[in-house]
């Protein structure tokens, strides 16, 4: 991995002055991901917070070629761009090596963009897909998505007398991507910038489709003070809510494990989207979320204890 000094000398590919909220996790994620390569990059973005706030006509915050497309098809768009690049390179019209990255929120990735993402992975396009995961459709009003965790209060799965937030557990998209047998898939989050940049470097240099699922807290939707974004990001990892994992050529491993996981309640109580769970009548749901977290952790422990033939587990 590049040193901090080397990273600081990489020109910014996303400038300041855009219209994303102060304390937005998505912009931090994008800047860290784009530090993963010094090569030219073409960026595609699904409709969402990132796109609408960085490309308001006639302005753009991007210092890279940037393509905006519909909510559901950034993976398809970037598949086409990468294919065109390969054709032009074969004809000798392009000499330099160019990298391709697609950004999509959880709504455009877990839900309405899943088919396009799966197709991109199955066709083996050399594109890095990054999900900036804020666990709801934040751009259009904080509606629940497939990434929204069990018990969270959203506008389409609200807390109330009848129901207590979202009733389903979130989709495990990283495992779904890994099941496509891609060269590299990972989870990271913005507090652990070294982990994020290291994973971006691996993903950009891999030969084939790659994927990074980035937990990018949203203070508007999660309802915590804007200055607490990095703190919330760290808590997600320390409680086991967001495991730091990678799957490299079929080998699963943790890239960071807390020495002792904190109770999930510490992560939940920091956000008002879960405040209803701390009412006496709902406290059993906290125990259920802890159980879900423990079961998923045990699932990952089993996966990381198995290596492919000929592979040695890393220390």
Provide the β-strand partners of residue 43. Answer: 66, 101
List the beta bridge partners of residue 131: 104, 213
The predicted structure's pLDDT at residue 307: 52
Residue 24: which of 234, 274, 239, 228 has the closest Cα?
A: 228
Predicted pLDDT at 17: 85
- The predicted pLDDT at position 310 comes to 40
The whole-model pTM stands at 0.95
Q: What is the DSSP string of 197-247?
A: HHHHHHHHHSSS-EEEEEE---HHHHTS-GGGHHHHHHHHHHTTSS-EEEE
CB 96 within 8 A of CB 53: no
Strands 244-248 and 184-189: antiparallel
The pLDDT score that the predictor gives to residue 311 is 47
Q: In order of start, what are the domains of the chain with their CATH numbers?
A: 4-304 (3.40.50.970)
Q: Which residues of the chain have pLDDT under 50?
A: 308-315
């Amino acid at each position: 991995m590049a040193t901090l000094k080397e990273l600081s000398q990489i020109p910014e590919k996303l400038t300041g002055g855009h219209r994303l909220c102060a304390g937005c996790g998505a912009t931090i994620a994008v800047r860290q991901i784009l530090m993963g390569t010094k090569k030219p990059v073409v960026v595609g973005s699904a409709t969402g917070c990132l796109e609408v706030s960085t490309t308001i006509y006639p302005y753009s915050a991007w210092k890279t070629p940037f393509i905006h497309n519909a909510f559901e098809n950034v993976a398809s768009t970037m598949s086409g761009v990468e294919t065109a690049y390969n054709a032009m390179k074969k004809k000798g019209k392009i000499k330099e090596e160019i990298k391709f990255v697609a950004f999509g929120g959880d709504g455009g990735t877990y839900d309405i963009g899943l088919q396009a993402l799966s197709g991109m992975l199955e066709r083996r396009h050399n594109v890095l897909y990054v999900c900036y995961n804020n666990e709801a459709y934040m751009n259009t009003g904080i509606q629940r998505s497939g990434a929204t965790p069990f018990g969270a209060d959203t506008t389409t799965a609200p807390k109330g007398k009848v129901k207590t937030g979202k009733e389903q557990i979130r989709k495990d998209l990283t495992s779904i991507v890994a099941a496509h047998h891609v060269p590299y898939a990972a989870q990271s989050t913005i507090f652990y910038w070294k982990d994020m940049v290291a994973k971006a470097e691996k993903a950009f240099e891999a030969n084939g489709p790659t994927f990074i699922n980035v937990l990018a807290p949203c203070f508007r939707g999660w309802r915590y003070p804007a200055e607490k974004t990095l703190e919330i990001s760290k808590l997600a990892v320390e409680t086991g809510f967001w495991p730091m994992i990678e799957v490299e050529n079929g080998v699963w491993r943790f890239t960071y494990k807390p020495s002792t996981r904190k109770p999930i309640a510490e992560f939940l109580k920091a956000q008002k989207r879960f405040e209803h769970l701390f009412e006496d009548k709902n406290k059993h749901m906290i125990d259920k979320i802890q159980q879900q977290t423990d079961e998923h952790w045990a699932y990952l422990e089993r996966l990381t204890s198995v290596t492919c033939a000929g592979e040695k587990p890393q220390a």
